[in-house]
Amino acid sequence: MADLSINLAGIQSPNPFWLASAPPTNSGYQVQRAFEAGWGGAVWKTLGEPIINVTSRFAGLNFGGQRVFGFNNIELITDKPLEVNLKEMDETKRRFPKHTLIASLMVEHKREAWHEIVKKVEAIGVDGLELNFGCPHGMAERGMGSAVGQHPDLIRQQVEWVKEVAQTPVIVKLTPNITDIRFTARAASLGGADAISMINTINSLMGVDLDKWLPIPHVDGKGAHGGYCGPAVKPIALNMVAECARDPKVGIPISGIGGISDWRDTVEFLLMGATGVQVCTAAMHHGFRIVEDMIDGLTNYLDQRGIASVMDIVGKAVHTYSDWGYLNLNYKVVARIHEETCINCNKCHIACEDTSHQCIDIVPDAVTGKERLVVREEDCVGCNLCSIVCPVEGAIEMVEIPSDKAPLSWNQRQAALAAGGSCEL
């Protein structure tokens, strides 16, 4: 069996599956249950000055018959005194010494406050620290969370303060509520962070109650923006992980977060540069035992490919992720419809006719007279839309058309034109 253990910036873990800092890691009881179920690590719910939460505080987005496709919350950090959390963390680490326990921290913008909390949590034997610079609601209004995470200079300064006293690896949790996450990731790296984690939740309003005309969720007739997560945010998170993984100015390990629901999602994040992953919404939806399928799926995936260690796939697809200007303009694919599996629902024809390039015809069969769908390949631009809307897996295939032209990117074309040459498309 493949070795699932990871090393994230010096933090050892029996597998790459961690619970993110969130409601599932609010107590020793929960984290210990998670470790018993098989989770390799947990990031404790953010420590700081205890706050008072509101009710109600969660909302779910259902889409296409799937429950909790997206998830929104207006919950804040721990509502328990620091001493209570530290006692439970100490008990948890003593019971599960081989599992990874990370302390998530958030305090006001003061050097002394950071020094004090770091010393207290490290005294009970945590494996690392995660600085929460990503929370988009509630704490941000108090000058913490994403209020810091949107300013590279503040990130760098506070990381430097932490590194002055920290004895364990420091992970910086970044907010996606920013124009370009690479700049804050670089700031964390310059400040001395050992790793970064991303993404925290996205600013959102989940919905409006059409009967009461109130935000969802609402508290006594008023609502507020919250943090959006769940499967719906995975593409956003995966892009940000890949962007930081391929940026040489970042250059530190990544803990991937955002919409990870199964082992397949995990493999995608690992291939795009994450060393491990953190999960929240999926655990809240299905319970801690989902990690069993995640472990089995990842193990089977690696074993079937003869890969000895999960660390061997970290970042293996990063080199394939580039900018549009480097893509080959002479590469061509077209759609082909397999009649034997086509159910003639005509969704591909409608989509192409109304919103794409009008290259799918409905023609009668010469023998039977039965209508069938045919792609005019000379007019097909290979946009993939027909295969995306088709309800039958594999009924429409995108096929590469060999080209006698050399690969040519937009950047190469512009450079050749600027030099007085010519480029054939």
Residues forming the active site: 135
Query: Coil, strand or helix: which one is 309?
Result: strand
Query: Coil, strand or helix: which one is 224?
Result: coil
Kind and range of the H or E run holding 337: strand 333-337
Closest-CA residue to 295 (of 18, 10, 8): 18
Cα-based distances in Å from 102 to 5, 11, 90, 124: 16, 9, 12, 11
For residues 132 and 168, give the distance between their C-alpha atoms in angstroms, rounded to a whole number.
16
Residue 419 CB-half CA count within 13 A: 9
Contact 252, 182 (CB under 8 A): no
For residues 100 and 18, give the distance between their C-alpha atoms in angstroms, rounded to a whole number.
8
Contact 173, 131 (CB under 8 A): yes
Structure tokens at 46: 């953010």
Amino acid at 77: I
* 362 beta partners: 373
Max Cα separation, the chain? 84
How close are the terminal C-alpha atoms of the chain, in Å? 49
Amino acid at 193: A
For residues 299 and 302, give the distance between their C-alpha atoms in angstroms, rounded to a whole number.
5
Closest-CA residue to 43 (of 197, 155, 174, 153): 197
